Structure 1
Amino acid sequence: MGIKAKPLQVSVLKDRYQTSFMSPRQSRHQIHARRFVPFNKLVNAYDGFTILPPFLSQDLVHAHNRIPLGASRMICSFESDIPRRFGLADDSLLYAAMMREISSKRCRRLVAMSHFGKRTALAALEGRPEYDLLKSKMIVRHPNVRLGTSGDRMAGDDGSKLVATFLGGHFGRKGGCVSVRVAQKALEKGLPIHINIVSSLQMGESVWLDPTEPDFFAPYVDGLDAANITFHQGLPNAEARELLGRSHFALLPTFGDTFGFSAIEAMAEYTPVIGTRACALPEMVSSGNNGFLVDLPVDENGSWVRPDYTERGTPEYAEHYRASIETLADEVLAVLESMIGKADDLARLRANARRTAEEMYSAERAGAAWDALYERVAAEDIDQPVTLDPEKDFSAPESPDYLFR
């Protein structure tokens, strides 16, 4: 009988909501959630780095979005930019320090949470001398979720009245305004469609894609009173997932999302997703199979084509945003209308949504993959350059289409 390998000691940052999606929820190793210095509390531009307490007993550090300065062996996962700059100049000492850390042999992998995130990061690094080195360390691993255990709550439903649920703190950017207009348009047409909206209603100046024109969002917030809308300003995660599971569709008609956790949480509860053909959504949604993608003009990286960020306060930006809301609402409503009473199609979509979650996003599969990566990184010679193994250092699929061929 073989000797069981000693578990590794892995430090992860005791950080934000995202870290739970981009680290093992179950592991054969000892995962330690470590406190760290949140320099962004002093200056927002300092969000991209941190330091950990000294003298920790650890085999490696896995940090998400923040670069742990001075870590002896590390994996850095990220959303869409590495390093996170927030306005830091190329010639700033801090930016140079972060670049040195991730370029060093101590940084063994750079793990993007999506192919969209990897493309975005590489576009930002284009022209830098470190470009090829950093690209050679990059792989893509999608976020993970625990699969729901309640079965398909909508099994046997005839689809004669549809329920769709939007979840998103950023009310405008993630598609809350679109969802309000879907409900209003459905009401005008007399369609049996009910919309749940769960949002803390963050909008405007603090949200990077939103227009800043005064009162722009007022009509959409007022629209939450529509007879076919149920509004929650917040729900515990378990209740939000229950609501998703009791919906025919999850709505994520987003203008920009580095991933979209509500989409995979919905699929973990058998619920198909209606989202935009932008950013990372095509990596989750196979249109017509486990949900539907509606069109939004995007560039070569997948980002929404819009007026420049510096024009957010102009009438032109506001009008572009408003017109885009209307177009998306019409497209989403057309999808919903086409599915009314289609019990067999709804059942197929739900089965496929769950299959997608099981095959691509389950915590069990992700935990095993992270564990294997931790073991390889812990065993590597820190004095040698990083060399990816094409088989073991695999990247997540770019689309779920392969599941339905």
Structure 2
Amino acid sequence: MQPCDGSDFVHVVNRIPFGARKMICSFESHIPRKFGLAEDAILTRMMLNEITSNRCRRLVGMSHFAKRTALAMHEGTPAYDVIKAKMMVQHPNVELGREGDRLKDDDASRLVLTFVGGHFVRKGGCVAVRIAEKAIEQGLPIEVNIISSLKAGKDVWSDPTDPDFLKKYLDLLNLPNVNHEPGLPNEKARELMGKSHFTLLPTFEDTFGFSAIESMAEYTPVIGTSVCALPEVIYHGRNGYLLHLDQDELGEWVRPDKTERHTEAYTRIYHDTIEMLADEALEYLKPLIGNPEALAAMRADARYTAEQMFSAEVAGPRWDDLYERVSRESVRTPAVCDPVLDQSSPESPAFLFEDRPVGGI
């Protein structure tokens, strides 16, 4: 920001505004995002000074995964206690779809799955097209939509760099049960998700996975992986399915270091994991073919999750209350979250289903 911007109070996302009089900083994973900068770089020190100053009143993780990641980043440093004291969690929110359940009268005789992700490998596009190929091999009536710019390989920080690895999955885009769109406006993408029985997000590494909550806002359950923030969104068997990946203490997938991504061993792990995830997803999907009642229950639960946890209508008053409190706080005093007033978003959607019958019936 310009030092003379004149705003009394700003809220930024994945940014740190130099010169702000008072601020809230929301973040997806790391804060500050200093990728490529040395610990002792001038800009690194400037960003750290801003978020530890009294001008920064709250650090708001978009997920508990983001909070864990950020705290681990600063553990053992002089900044840790200051940063932890002002940190809270507020999940992103989304406008709810207004069209109702587009598959209300569908007989589920043919399942449609939609994958959305610019990073084709990292987000799980390889899993999506293998699901389609395995469905043909097994005679299953499954169609897969791919919305992706297909960015992958050496230009994506976590992908295997072997071009032969990528080519065999890109070739699967030509399968008769795969439809590829290089990109769609958000409105069209959400419409397509709403016309799908599931959205696919079998991601290997994600800060949140925004397509998951957009999908649920359109009544569509999600098949995702059990890493990062997705367990905070998906409750297995009710609003979607979680495919298993081994995780570390932060919730990230356990695999070789990314510095090894040019090696055959790294590529092999990706290949084997893609096969495992595709097989697991198909096992969840098979009993749902021709079972509209079970799908209707999951779709109702997906929409219920969006309404209760991720709707703009629910989030708006919470942000308004926080803005009002922060606007009254003095920058002469240290910023500290109130555990009652600054209530964090829940770590799991499980609470939604404790007393809710299947499908909300």
- Using the size of structure 2 for normalisation, the TM-score is 0.96
1:84 aligns with 2:24: no
Measured after TM superposition, the shift of residue 387 of structure 1 is 2.4
Distance 2:157 2:247 in 1: 17
- Corresponding residue to 1:64 among 13, 23, 35: 13
Identify the residue that residue 272 of structure 1 maps to in structure 2.
Answer: 221
1:370 aligns with 2:295: no
What is the 5 A alignment of 1:109-128? 109-128=58-77
* RMSD, aligned α-carbons: 1.0
What is the 5 A alignment of 1:220-369? 220-369=169-318
Amino acid at match of 1:334: E
Q: Secondary structure at the match of 2:350?
A: helix
Measured after TM superposition, the shift of residue 378 of structure 1 is 0.8
1:210 aligns with 2:159: yes
Amino acid at match of 1:398: E
Distance 1:84 1:130 in 2: 15
Q: Secondary structure at the match of 1:293?
A: strand
What CA deviation, in whole Å up to 9, does each residue of 1:49-72 have, x standing for no partner?
xxx124333220111111111211
Structure 2 residues without counterparts, runs of 5 or longer: 355-361
Measured after TM superposition, the shift of residue 214 of structure 1 is 2.5
Identify the residue that residue 158 of structure 1 maps to in structure 2.
Answer: 107
Distance 2:136 2:188 in 1: 26
Structure 1 residues without counterparts, runs of 5 or longer: 1-51
Measured after TM superposition, the shift of residue 276 of structure 1 is 0.4
Amino acid at match of 2:140: L
Distance 1:226 1:256 in 2: 26
Identify the residue that residue 135 of structure 1 maps to in structure 2.
Answer: 84
**If each structure's helix is expressed as a fraction of its own residues, which one has the higher value?**
2
Identify the residue that residue 395 of structure 1 maps to in structure 2.
Answer: 344
What CA deviation, in whole Å up to 9, does each residue of 1:176-219 have, x standing for no partner?
00000000000000001111111000101221110111332101
Identify the residue that residue 55 of structure 1 maps to in structure 2.
Answer: 4
Measured after TM superposition, the shift of residue 130 of structure 1 is 0.8
Q: Secondary structure at the match of 1:109?
A: strand
Moved over 6 A (4+): none
Distance 1:282 1:389 in 2: 26
Distance 1:140 1:272 in 2: 24
Amino acid at match of 2:337: L
What CA deviation, in whole Å up to 9, does each residue of 1:10-53 have, x standing for no partner?
xxxxxxxxxxxxxxxxxxxxxxxxxxxxxxxxxxxxxxxxxx12
Q: Secondary structure at the match of 1:68?
A: coil
Distance 2:227 2:288 in 1: 23
Amino acid at match of 2:234: V
Identify the residue that residue 15 of structure 1 maps to in structure 2.
Answer: none
Measured after TM superposition, the shift of residue 392 of structure 1 is 1.5
Distance 2:75 2:156 in 1: 26
Distance 1:207 1:298 in 2: 21
- Is the CA contact 2:232–2:349 (under 8 Å) kept in the aligned structure 1? yes
Distance 1:302 1:54 in 2: 38
Identify the residue that residue 21 of structure 1 maps to in structure 2.
Answer: none
What CA deviation, in whole Å up to 9, does each residue of 1:213-249 have, x standing for no partner?
1332101111001111111111111110110000110
Identify the residue that residue 48 of structure 2 maps to in structure 1.
Answer: 99
Aligned length: 354
What CA deviation, in whole Å up to 9, does each residue of 1:245-282 have, x standing for no partner?
00110100000110001100000000000100111000
Amino acid at match of 1:241: R
